[in-house]
């Protein structure tokens, strides 16, 4: 939100440079993103958090500036006039949830003209275009009070006013002259024949104020934030008005904004005979009294504060001190601060104005109790377990990635049959579901890096997946692995999965062929009859559709099951005698599984301690349907050094056994 220093000075005395004020406001929580000198004024551009709707008004910003400067805010509240009543037009609200409070005024005999310089400068320096005196007055009052207003040409309104939901395919042409098709998502202001405004967002072209306008209908209201948000998103609109309504406007200032606009129209546009109508009731309750204890505040903030200092800062925030003792203060938050509900809210308000940098850092004192030194709880243990996995995979040469938990449901369906929970009100259509798997995020991360010239990627992610479970959403943490490369082989990923399982001392592992959407060579990872994950290769069709420049192998493992099946490690003495290696070159038929070869070797291999694939290849010289690889076998004794004849004898027995197996050719 943009605001001007000259506008701010109307409400609070500012004697420090604009840059110093910007720094003080930022340290207090109102982040000033940029500061620009414009003629004799300074323009601040602030980032307003969603919980601080009061900062969307100059009075709210002035209150903040007063607090950080130790000043008082000067506000001249207009005298509310509710007579005479507006009787020649009725206003009907179809659903009080959409519009709980509506205030209308009609001002006659106005003269539309350019705004005086003082008004034009303030409006323009706050980031809005100067249109004419009527529009500028409504914008000025919105900027000041935080409550959007809209002025209609009264003579263009036909019949009575109705606040209702739009009909399907109802047409709306806004003051930006763009034609839009509405739906039931849109809340509108309509007369007896046409739509005259998109409620809380934009007025219609058919009732806008022009140089020929003589009488105006002035609207001030409170619209449902959710309704305005959905309506605005449905049409892809974003206005100063919707920005405020979505974040909530205060009913306490609606009347003041409307009355001041009326007074200014009478003064600057020669308006007369203002009439008043009120529909609905103000539903907001006065902020509740909160009793804070300085002793508890000390425990919360870590520093002791005197009651006088606390009172002074809270009063600078427009909090009312109703009663105070040496340890207790009874305080009533400002009308504009409905976000203050508990004692801790008051503590934090005090701390940010006092200055977090002024609160000395201390090491917390822990009492020696059984509770403090007890064994870690279940979730703490799981947190440590995840960190150990993260560390191990990182040391294996993988880089950690963090991807979005919200994905597109249609894209997710290309990779999994599972359905993640759909968002009722997604920010973007491309992000409408919580992910049920991590696979899509891994694919996107790989594609992003491959498109930027990276190659031979090794990524991992530890994150939650989400699945609907009756009336709730169930979170399941997974480990995702991804390896890419032009010459990368499937066994590299499988080997990494085995390394992780070995690290956790999970030895009873099986790999079973499986069918997975968009994956080829897919295997399920099974431990004690339970599927704990899968691995596979993105198939050619999806690789082409996604534009992946390298093959991508991917795996997901259930972390909860990994934790469940992990076993404590037991260490045994290693042999003091050297290991001896021997190679075997084989060609095997494609239908034969490697585990069959491994089983033969391990059954016959006395003194065999390890084996590894050191090479693989395919050639036209091989029989059709065969592929070749070379194994290196390692032999070792715990009792002596094996001589060459002994090793050759053990090795030849394995070769003979393999040679007898149909589909295996020794080379």
Q: Which two tokens stand for residue 220?
A: 């001030």
Closest C-alpha among 223, 129, 121, 141 to residue 176: 129
Q: What is the DSSP string of 609-654?
A: EEEEEEEEE--TTSPTTEEEEEEEEEE--SSSPPPHHHHHHHHHHH
**Cα 134 off chain centre by:** 39
Q: How far apart are CA 644 and CA 634, in angstroms?
A: 13
Residue 376 is predicted with a pLDDT of: 55
The answer to whether the predicted template modeling score (pTM) of the entire model surpasses 0.75 is no
- A 10 A CB-CB count for 185 gives 15
Q: What are phi and psi of 529, to 5 degrees?
A: 80, 0
Pairing of strands 290-293, 272-280: unpaired
Helices (H) and strands (E) in the chain, counts: 19, 30
Q: Which two tokens stand for residue 471?
A: 């009336």
Residue 502 is predicted with a pLDDT of: 93
Closest C-alpha among 467, 486, 491 to residue 477: 467
User: CB of 614 within 8 A of CB of 656?
Assistant: no
CATH class of this structure's domain 290-356: alpha beta
**Domain pair 290-356 / 580-666, same fold:** no
Q: How far apart are CA 65 and CA 316, in angstroms?
A: 9
Q: Which residues of the chain have pLDDT under 70?
A: 363-377, 605
Q: How far apart are CA 447 and CA 212, in angstroms?
A: 59
Q: How far apart are CA 474 and CA 420, in angstroms?
A: 10
Task: Identify the DSSP state of 560.
Answer: H
Domain at 378-565: CATH code: 3.30.930.10
User: CB of 477 within 8 A of CB of 463?
Assistant: yes
Residue 605 is predicted with a pLDDT of: 67
Arch. (CATH architecture) of 91-280: 3-Layer(bba) Sandwich (3.50)
On whether the 2-69 domain is CATH 3.30.365.10, my answer is no
Query: CB under 8 Å, gap of 24 or more: what pairs does 650-653 form?
Result: 650/605, 650/606, 650/607, 650/608, 651/582, 651/584, 653/604, 653/606
Give every CB contact of residue 517 below 8 A, 6+ residues apart in sequence. 414, 415, 416, 417
User: CB of 339 within 8 A of CB of 330?
Assistant: no
Bridge partners, residue 630, by sequence: 585, 615
Q: How far apart are CA 135 and CA 391, in angstroms?
A: 61
Residue 373 is predicted with a pLDDT of: 46
Residue 419 is predicted with a pLDDT of: 80
Q: Which CATH superfamily is domain 580-666 in?
A: Ferrodoxin-fold anticodon-binding domain (3.30.70.380)
Q: What are phi and psi of 548, to 5 degrees?
A: -75, 130
Residue 473 is predicted with a pLDDT of: 85
Q: How far apart are CA 329 and CA 27, in angstroms?
A: 26
Residue 365 is predicted with a pLDDT of: 59
Residue 172 is predicted with a pLDDT of: 96
Q: Where are the domains of the chain?
A: 2-69, 91-280, 290-356, 378-565, 580-666
């Amino acid at each position: 939100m943009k605001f001007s220093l000259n506008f701010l000075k109307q409400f609070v005395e500012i004697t420090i440079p604009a840059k110093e004020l910007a720094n003080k406001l930022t340290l207090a929580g109102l982040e000033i993103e940029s500061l620009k000198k414009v003629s004799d004024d300074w323009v601040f551009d602030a980032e307003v958090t969603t919980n601080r709707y009061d900062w969307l008004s100059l009075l709210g910003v002035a209150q903040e500036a007063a607090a950080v400067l130790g000043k008082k805010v000067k506000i001249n509240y207009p005298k509310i006039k509710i007579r005479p009543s507006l009787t020649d037009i009725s206003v009907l609200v179809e659903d009080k949830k959409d519009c709980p409070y509506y205030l209308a005024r009609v001002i006659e005999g106005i003269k539309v003209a350019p705004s005086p310089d003082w008004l034009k400068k303030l409006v323009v320096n706050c980031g809005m275009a100067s249109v004419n005196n009527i529009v500028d007055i409504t914008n000025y009052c919105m900027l000041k009070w935080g409550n959007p207003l809209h002025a209609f040409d009264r003579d263009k309104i036909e019949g009575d006013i109705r606040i209702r939901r739009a009909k399907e395919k109802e047409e709306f042409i806004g003051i930006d002259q763009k034609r839009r098709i509405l739906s039931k998502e849109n809340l509108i202001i309509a007369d007896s024949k046409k739509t005259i405004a998109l409620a809380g967002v934009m007025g219609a072209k058919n009732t806008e104020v022009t140089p020929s306008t003589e009488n105006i209908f002035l609207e001030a209201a409170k619209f449902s934030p959710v309704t305005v948000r959905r309506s605005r998103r449905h049409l892809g609109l974003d206005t100063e008005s919707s920005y405020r309504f979505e974040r909530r406007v205060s009913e306490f200032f609606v009347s003041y904004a409307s009355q001041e606009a009326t007074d200014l129209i009478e003064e600057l546009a020669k308006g007369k005979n203002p009439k008043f109508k009120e529909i609905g009731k103000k539903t907001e309750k006065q902020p509740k009294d909160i009793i804070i204890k300085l002793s508890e505040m000390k425990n919360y903030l870590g520093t002791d504060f005197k009651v006088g200092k606390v009172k002074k800062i809270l009063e600078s925030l427009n909090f009312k001190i109703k009663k105070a003792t040496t340890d207790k203060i009874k305080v009533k938050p400002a009308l504009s601060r409905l976000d203050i509900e508990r004692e801790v809210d008051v503590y934090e308000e005090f701390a940010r104005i006092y200055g977090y940098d002024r609160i000395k850092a201390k090491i917390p004192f822990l009492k020696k109790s059984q509770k403090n030194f007890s064994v870690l709880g279940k979730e703490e243990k799981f947190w440590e377990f995840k960190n150990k996995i993260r560390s191990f995979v990182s040391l294996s040469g993988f880089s950690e990635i963090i991807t979005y938990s919200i994905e597109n449901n249609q894209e997710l369906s290309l990779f999994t049959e599972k359905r993640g929970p759909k968002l009722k009100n997604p920010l973007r259509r491309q992000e409408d579901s919580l992910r049920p798997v991590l696979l899509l995020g891994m694919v996107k991360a790989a594609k992003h890096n491959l498109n930027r010239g990276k190659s031979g990627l090794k990524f991992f992610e530890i994150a939650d997946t989400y699945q609907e479970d009756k009336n709730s959403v169930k979170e399941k943490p997974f480990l995702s692995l991804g390896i890419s490369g032009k010459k990368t082989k499937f066994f590299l990923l499988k080997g990494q999965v085995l390394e992780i399982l070995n690290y956790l001392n999970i030895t009873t592992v099986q790999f079973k062929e499986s069918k997975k959407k968009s994956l080829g060579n897919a295997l399920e990872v099974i431990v004690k009859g339970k599927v704990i994950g899968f691995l596979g290769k993105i198939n050619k069709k999806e690789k082409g559709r996604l534009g992946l420049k390298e093959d991508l192998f991917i795996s997901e493992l259930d972390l909860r099951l990994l934790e469940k099946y992990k076993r404590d490690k037991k260490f045994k003495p290693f042999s003091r005698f050297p290991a001896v290696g021997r190679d075997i070159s084989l060609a095997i038929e494609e239908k034969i599984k490697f585990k069959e070869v491994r089983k033969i070797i391990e059954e016959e291999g006395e003194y065999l301690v390890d084996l590894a694939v050191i090479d693989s290849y395919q050639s036209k010289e091989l029989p059709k349907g065969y592929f070749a690889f070379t194994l290196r076998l390692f032999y070792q004794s715990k009792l002596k050094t094996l001589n060459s004849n002994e090793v050759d004898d053990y090795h030849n027995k394995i070769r003979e056994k393999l040679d007898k197996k149909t589909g295996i050719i020794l080379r």
